[in-house]
């Protein structure tokens, strides 16, 4: 009899352990595959948000495994074997304090780290010396640069500007320098759009009659994709663009290649 009870205990323990290991493997592989199911981001702000996301995922996994493990334990350990009630814990002050305190602690941790990340992102969002004006329209984007607003190499006396306008057949490329704060100023002349670059981990609505702005500092070079993330009409899916992050020298060469001097004002008739 004793051996039979020991075998049952061993089988229950093995089943619980196997189920827990399976749950942990499935949830962890799902969460951590493809870089935590979220890119780490290419900007200082995105990396800050990504670190917060990883904290939330880890805490969620811990809670999930703990809850599911306790559920499996109670299912196997306290399954009905007769009409007698198992030991009752109603009114146990210690247990009630424990399961009340744990969620409070979890919420406080998430609040503190979320607030800290929000402060850091807002701190990096001060007006930048380099501005790219973005106009959304049905169904593409236009990016405008001003020679007197290009960061370190700005010409305060210049009135030169140029605009890169995309079409359905020719998706535009917006170019920014690495390691420098860049402000995107967003406007729309028709309906609501949404400016979204996946590797920014951020998007912002482009609203008619309103100027929205955000500031990012790219930390790595490369070419990344962007799109409109707000259903804005029949050809919404065509509103794609590319973001190219380059060195300062490459950015200056890009500006020099595209910038055109402003036309001189016509002389008044005599």
Looking at the structure, tell me whether residues 134 and 243 fall in a common domain: yes
In this predicted structure, what is the pLDDT of residue 8?
A: 67
In this predicted structure, what is the pLDDT of residue 176?
A: 95
Identify the band that residue 70 occupies on the pLDDT scale cut at 50, 70 and 90. Answer: confident
Residue, of 75 and 269, whose pLDDT is higher: 75
In this predicted structure, what is the pLDDT of residue 174?
A: 95
Q: How far apart are CA 186 and CA 207, in angstroms?
A: 8
In this predicted structure, what is the pLDDT of residue 84?
A: 76
Looking at the structure, tell me whether residues 134 and 260 fall in a common domain: yes
In this predicted structure, what is the pLDDT of residue 261?
A: 57
Tokens of 9: 């205990």
Looking at the structure, tell me whether residues 60 and 46 fall in a common domain: yes
Candidates 244, 227, 249, 245; CA nearest to 236 is: 227
In this predicted structure, what is the pLDDT of residue 268?
A: 45
Task: Flag whether 86 is in a domain.
Answer: no
Task: Flag whether 4 is in a domain.
Answer: yes
Candidates 177, 184, 178; CA nearest to 255 is: 177
Identify the band that residue 90 occupies on the pLDDT scale cut at 50, 70 and 90. Answer: confident
Residue, of 60 and 78, whose pLDDT is higher: 60
User: Which residues constitute the domain of residue 43?
Assistant: 39-76+91-122
Mean pLDDT of 74-95: 76
In this predicted structure, what is the pLDDT of residue 71?
A: 84
| Kind of pairing between the strands at 130-137 and 181-188 | parallel
Task: Flag whether 254 is in a domain.
Answer: yes
Looking at the structure, tell me whether residues 9 and 110 fall in a common domain: no
Angle between helices 2-36 and 44-77 (to 10 degrees): 160
Write out pLDDT tens, residues 174-233: 999 999 999 999 999 999 999 999 999 989 999 999 999 999 999 999 999 999 999 999
Indicate whether 162 pLDDT > 50: yes
Looking at the structure, tell me whether residues 172 and 191 fall in a common domain: yes
What is the residue-wise DSSP string for the chain? -HHHHHHHHHHHHHHHHHHHHHHHHHHHHHHHHHHHTS---SBHHHHHHHHHHHHHHHHHHHHHHHHHHHHHHHHHHS---SSSPPPP-TT-HHHHHHHHHHHHHHHHHHHHHHHHHHHHHHHTTSPPSEEEEEEEETTEEEEEEEEEEEGGG--TT---EEEEE--SSS--EEEEETTSEEEEEEEESSS-EEEEEGGGTEEEEE-BT--EEEEEEB-S-EEEEEEE-S--STTGGG-EEEEEEE-HHHHHHHHHHH--PPPPPPPPP-
Looking at the structure, tell me whether residues 184 and 217 fall in a common domain: yes
In this predicted structure, what is the pLDDT of residue 104?
A: 94
Write out pLDDT tens, residues 9-66: 666 666 766 766 676 666 555 555 455 677 888 998 888 889 999 999 889 888 888 8
Name residue 196's beta-bridge partners.
Answer: 203, 227
Looking at the structure, tell me whether residues 61 and 140 fall in a common domain: no
Task: Flag whether 63 is in a domain.
Answer: yes
Task: Flag whether 270 is in a domain.
Answer: no
Task: Flag whether 83 is in a domain.
Answer: no
Looking at the structure, tell me whether residues 7 and 96 fall in a common domain: no
Domain count, the chain: 3
Strand order in the sheet with 202-206: 173-177, 240-246, 222-228, 193-197, 202-206
In this predicted structure, what is the pLDDT of residue 26?
A: 62
Mean pLDDT of 142-155: 85
Looking at the structure, tell me whether residues 207 and 250 fall in a common domain: yes
Identify the band that residue 95 occupies on the pLDDT scale cut at 50, 70 and 90. Answer: confident
Task: Flag whether 29 is in a domain.
Answer: yes
Write out pLDDT tens, residues 250-259: 999 998 888 7
Looking at the structure, tell me whether residues 22 and 136 fall in a common domain: no
Looking at the structure, tell me whether residues 154 and 259 fall in a common domain: yes
In this predicted structure, what is the pLDDT of residue 41?
A: 86
CATH number at residue 224: 2.60.40.420
Looking at the structure, tell me whether residues 15 and 45 fall in a common domain: no
Indicate whether 249 pLDDT > 50: yes
Yes or no: say if 230 and 50 are a contact pair by the CB < 8 Å rule: no
What's the predicted TM-score (pTM) here? 0.72
Tokens of 42: 């290419």
């Amino acid at each position: 009899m004793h051996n039979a009870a020991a075998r049952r205990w061993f089988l229950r323990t093995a089943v619980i352990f196997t189920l827990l290991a399976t749950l942990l493997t499935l949830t962890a592989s799902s969460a951590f595959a493809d870089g935590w199911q979220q890119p780490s981001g290419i900007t200082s702000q995105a990396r800050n948000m990504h670190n917060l996301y990883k904290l939330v995922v880890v805490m969620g996994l811990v809670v999930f495994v703990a809850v599911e493990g306790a559920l499996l334990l109670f299912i196997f350990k306290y399954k009905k074997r007769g009409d007698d009630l198992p030991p009752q814990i109603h009114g146990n002050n210690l247990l009630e304090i424990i399961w009340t305190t744990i969620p409070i602690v979890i919420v406080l941790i998430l609040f503190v780290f979320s607030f800290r990340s929000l402060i850091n992102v807002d701190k990096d969002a001060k007006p930048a010396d380099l501005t790219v004006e973005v106009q959304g329209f049905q169904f593409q984007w236009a990016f405008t640069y001003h020679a007197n607003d290009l960061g370190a190499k700005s010409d305060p006396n210049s009135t030169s500007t140029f605009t890169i306008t995309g079409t359905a057949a020719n998706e535009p490329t917006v170019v920014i320098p690495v390691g420098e704060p860049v402000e995107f100023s967003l406007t729309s002349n028709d309906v609501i759009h949404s400016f979204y670059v996946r590797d920014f981990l951020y998007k912002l609505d482009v609203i008619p009659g309103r100027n929205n702005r955000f500031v990012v500092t790219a930390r790595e070079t490369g070419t990344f994709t962007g799109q409109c993330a707000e259903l804005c009409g029949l050809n919404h899916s065509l509103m794609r663009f590319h973001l190219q992050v380059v060195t300062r020298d490459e950015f200056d060469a890009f500006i020099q290649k595209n910038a055109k001097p402003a036309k001189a004002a016509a002389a008044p008739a005599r």
